[in-house]
């Protein structure tokens, strides 16, 4: 956890919403200079902070509406802090909670050097990253349709399995194998939706590759030296990381990628683990997917996984492999080196 500790003359906390924002401005002594509700508007915000522009820092909680505030502060030369939503317990754990109280708490945390910081992703790459996240969302929707077709097969215990229906040739005649017209219609709708998703995702991936291939082509090429990591997974990893130098160590990167469990300890006693929702879910998915693809047609990797499975079980073995791939990616991007499988597998 990183805290914003720089000192300023004025501290502005904003409880931000779509149409309204409650701002609280404190001076260096902790006295309230401004505390009012405003329309969510650029001009209204700049007018409110204008008397304090000589030395002010602005903070908002990391929710979906923060983009425009960060970009405006960057344009106007105002220091900006993005508060980590899951770490700000003072806001979510209070007895009373409203916009006025929340804005003051943000300002107080900022002034006291206790504002936990989230990463302010650069505006020039943000839209492409969000487009890739949208692609992943649509891909999961298509996977749900695949699962529904296979589950319906199991419900009616058809004699012949459908096989990998992600392949076009395996989808022909699926609906006709069911007796009931209603089930046939349900499966036909699923298949038609899958065809639509196929076309949309294909065009979307072409657009993403065209937009994204200008960002750090060296790192992009290095990521694809990992067996099983193709263009899309490489781009997801690259854009979710943005700059590997922002992580002080491989442990920090593994924690951010949700590849390790965070231990809880008090008075020398372990109290389990926590923080499973803190970190980047998209990197977690990418490394988990990369671990599965890494094994395909890779006999040394399969033997390594077998050793881990005998010791830890299959689920944990795959998690360990994903963790090792994450650590490898950290050093690959940091040192600009290609993937070394022998070093990863300790061969």
Over the Cα atoms of the chain, what is R_g?
Answer: 25
Instruction: Tell me what pLDDT residue 135 has.
Output: 94
DSSP string, 34-54: EEEEEES-HHHHHHHHGGGTT
Cα 199 from Cα 186, distance rounded (Å): 21
Instruction: Tell me what pLDDT residue 110 has.
Output: 93
Instruction: Tell me what pLDDT residue 86 has.
Output: 80
Cα 298 from Cα 127, distance rounded (Å): 36
DSSP label of 242: S
| In the chain, where the domains are located | 3-116, 124-212, 221-264+277-344
Out of 22-26, 82-86, 98-102, 339-343, the most confident range is: 22-26
The chain-wide mean pLDDT, for the chain, equals 90
Instruction: Tell me what pLDDT residue 195 has.
Output: 92
Q: Helix axis angle, 123-156 relative to 181-212, nearest 10°?
A: 160
Residue 56 has pLDDT above 90, yes or no: yes
Chain centre to alpha carbon of residue 262: 18
Under the banding of pLDDT at 50, 70 and 90, the label for residue 37 is: very high
CATH number at 3-116: 3.30.420.10
Query: How much is the average pLDDT of 115-133?
Result: 91
Token duo for residue 276: 């499973």
Under the banding of pLDDT at 50, 70 and 90, the label for residue 321 is: very high
Strand partners, 115: 4
Under the banding of pLDDT at 50, 70 and 90, the label for residue 88 is: confident
Instruction: Tell me what pLDDT residue 267 has.
Output: 66
Tell me the per-residue pLDDT of 243-288, one tens digit each, with 9 for 90 and over. Answer: 999 999 999 999 999 998 877 777 677 776 666 778 899 999 999 9
Instruction: Tell me what pLDDT residue 313 has.
Output: 93
Phi-psi region of 258 (alpha: psi -120 to 50; beta: other; left: phi over 0): left
Query: How much is the average pLDDT of 205-230?
Result: 89
Lowest mean pLDDT among 85-89, 141-145, 151-155, 282-286: 85-89
Lowest mean pLDDT among 37-46, 125-134, 271-280, 299-308: 271-280
């Amino acid at each position: 956890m990183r805290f914003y500790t720089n000192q300023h003359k004025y501290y502005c906390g904003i409880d931000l919403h779509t149409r309204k924002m409650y701002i609280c401005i404190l001076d260096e002594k902790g006295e309230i200079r401004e505390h009012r509700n405003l329309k969510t508007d650029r001009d209204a915000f700049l007018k409110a902070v204008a008397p304090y522009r000589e030395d002010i820092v602005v903070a908002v909680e990391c929710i979906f509406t923060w983009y425009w505030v960060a970009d405006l502060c960057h344009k106007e030369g105002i220091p900006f802090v993005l508060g980590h939503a899951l770490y700000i317990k003072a806001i979510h754990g209070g007895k009373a909670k409203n916009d006025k109280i929340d804005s003051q708490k943000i300002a107080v945390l900022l002034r006291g050097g206790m504002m936990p910081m989230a990463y302010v992703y650069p505006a020039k790459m943000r839209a492409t990253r969000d487009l890739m996240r949208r692609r992943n969302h649509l891909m999961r929707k298509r996977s749900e349709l695949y699962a529904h077709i296979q589950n319906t097969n199991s419900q009616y215990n058809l004699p012949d399995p459908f096989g990998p229906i992600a392949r076009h040739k395996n989808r022909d005649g699926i609906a006709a194998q069911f007796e009931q017209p209603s089930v046939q219609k349900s499966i036909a709708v699923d298949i038609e939706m899958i065809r639509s998703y196929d076309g949309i995702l294909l065009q979307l991936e072409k657009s993403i590759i065209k937009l994204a291939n200008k960002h750090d082509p060296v790192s992009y090429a290095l990521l694809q030296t990992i067996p099983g990591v193709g263009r899309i997974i490489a781009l997801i990893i690259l854009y979710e990381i943005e700059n590997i130098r922002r992580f002080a160590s491989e442990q920090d990167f593994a924690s951010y990628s949700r590849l390790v469990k965070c231990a809880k300890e008090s008075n020398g006693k372990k109290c389990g683990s926590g923080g499973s929702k803190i970190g980047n879910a998209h990197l977690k998915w990418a490394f988990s997917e990369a671990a599965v693809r890494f094994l395909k047609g890779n006999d040394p990797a399969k033997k390594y996984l077998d050793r881990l499975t005998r010791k830890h079980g299959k689920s944990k073995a795959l998690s360990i492999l994903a963790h090792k791939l994450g650590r490898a990616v950290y050093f690959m991007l940091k040192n600009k080196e290609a993937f070394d499988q022998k070093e990863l597998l300790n061969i």
